[in-house]
């Protein structure tokens, strides 16, 4: 069954508001907001705005209920065992920093944190900071020539000193999907915790996070067609119950005295202060909307578009694809460079054709070093993209190459 892309595009307000040509291919940076999320956000801000968890009047009660329902919707989309496993955050970066702080007491001198050269800076820098605070070592798994995690490094990378393994589920540069099963098995064997950056995976359909073998999973709302400013951190319940709070303040307490404080149970223990209420409600609405889509048809559609993009790029002179050239275990995130032309110049010229792409190191400088470059152009697909978007990119790029090379 083919995907009704035109019908799907009608669920995204931006496509009826920006005149053509408009070819949005920067979805790895942020997806467009779906109508369900936009309506939930404006509905709260215009007719339901109140603080949550403490008010006893009806408006505050409704806001608290909507916030709780958002947590439940996100938990269902993730396949969590219970809503309380989901901490509502401001995004993946905050979630990974939260994880690094609450796991601090489990680390000491001589212990190891394992990441990879495939990671976004948000899954590198917090672990560097933690390693320095605790006198631990930070090590990185290698990357294959086509931009996939080198699982051959696994046995050498994970040993008895390993306490934390932090890896991306899907690369924001190459689109390569990490096979988490062997990583989880090896981590469990040495008693290490597995933390996963799921920001690039969550727009591609519901998960069964409790079956991935990981202990912590971070994500952002704006990547999954919700509002900016919201995210979630899923933590396996047995682990979550044992963790200390990250930030102190209102709403994360049971009882405060000058002498000491008793903390609230999870997840409230990790949600100090007023949360991003509207964005979280919008994220919940996006999760609910995404759950109702035909993901088999979407996967086939995105694979077809990825094939069209890769095939087209390979025909253009001076273009080098940085990442997998096949369609196995990957999503539609494709990075490339044009010989002798900076990625920013390519992107700016493509904009004249109405094509929106991303140029730079994509917060993945160690991976750029692997590819022997400082910047690439990145085109990233979403379910609302179609063949016309890909063709506009390829036609525009052909003109750019003729002009600049």
Instruction: Spot the catalytic one: 34, 214, 347, 363.
Output: 363
What are the start-end ranges of the E strands in 306-383?
319-321, 333-338, 355-356, 358-360, 376-380
Check if 363 is active-site.
yes
DSSP state of 85: G
Q: How far apart are CA 308 and CA 312, in angstroms?
A: 6
Ramachandran region of residue 362, left (φ > 0), alpha (ψ -120 to 50) or beta? left
Nearest to 357 by CA among 20, 31, 120, 24: 24
Do 385 and 25 form a contact (C-beta atoms < 8 A)?
Answer: yes
Q: How far apart are CA 221 and CA 31, in angstroms?
A: 9
Helix %, strand %, coil % of the chain (to 5): 45, 20, 40
Q: How far apart are CA 9 and CA 225, in angstroms?
A: 12
DSSP state of 260: -
CA atoms within 13 A on the CB side of 17: 7
Q: Quick check: bond before 21 cis, omega within 30? A: yes
C-alpha 159, offset from chain centre: 28
Token readout for 14 is 């931006």
Place of tokens 């702080």: 101
Token readout for 394 is 């390829």
Active site residues: 363
């Amino acid at each position: 069954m083919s995907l009704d892309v035109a019908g799907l595009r009608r669920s995204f307000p931006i496509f009826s508001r920006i005149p053509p040509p408009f070819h949005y291919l920067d979805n790895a940076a942020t997806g467009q907001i779906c109508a369900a999320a936009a309506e939930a956000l404006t509905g709260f801000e215009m007719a339901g705005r109140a603080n949550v968890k403490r008010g006893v009047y009806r408006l505050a009660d409704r806001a608290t209920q909507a916030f709780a329902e958002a947590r439940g919707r996100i938990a269902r989309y993730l396949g969590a065992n219970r809503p309380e496993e989901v901490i509502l955050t401001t995004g993946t970066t905050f979630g990974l920093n939260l994880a690094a702080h609450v796991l601090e007491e489990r680390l000491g001198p001589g212990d190891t944190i394992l990441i990879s050269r495939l990671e976004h800076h948000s899954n590198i820098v917090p672990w560097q900071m933690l390693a320095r605070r605790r006198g631990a070592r930070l090590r990185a798994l290698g990357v294959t020539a086509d931009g996939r995690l080198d699982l051959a490094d696994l046995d050498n990378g994970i040993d008895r000193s390993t306490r934390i393994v932090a890896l991306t589920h899907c690369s924001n540069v190459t689109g390569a999907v990490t096979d988490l099963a062997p990583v989880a098995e090896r981590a469990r064997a040495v008693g290490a915790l597995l933390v996963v950056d799921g920001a690039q995976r969550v727009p591609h359909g519901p998960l069964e996070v409790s079956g991935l073998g990981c202990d912590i999973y971070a994500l952002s709302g704006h990547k999954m067609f919700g509002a900016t400013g919201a995210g979630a951190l899923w933590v396996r319940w047995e682990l979550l119950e044992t963790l200390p709070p990250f930030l102190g303040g209102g709403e994360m307490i049971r009882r405060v005295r000058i002498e000491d404080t008793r903390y609230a149970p999870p997840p409230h223990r990790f949600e100090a202060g007023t949360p991003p209420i509207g964005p979280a409600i919008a994220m919940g609405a996006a999760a609910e909307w995404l759950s109702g889509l035909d993901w088999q048809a979407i996967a086939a559609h995105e694979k077809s578009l990825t094939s069209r993009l890769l095939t087209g790029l390979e025909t253009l002179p001076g273009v080098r694809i940085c990442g997998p050239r096949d369609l196995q275990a990957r999503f539609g995130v494709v990075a490339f460079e044009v010989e002798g032309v900076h990625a920013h110049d390519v992107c700016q010229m493509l904009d004249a054709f109405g094509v929106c792409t991303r140029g730079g190191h994509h917060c993945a400088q160690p991976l750029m070093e692997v590819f022997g470059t400082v910047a690439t152009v990145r085109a990233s697909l979403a379910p609302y993209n179609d063949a016309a978007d890909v063709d506009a990119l390829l036609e525009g790029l052909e003109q750019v190459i003729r002009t600049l090379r």
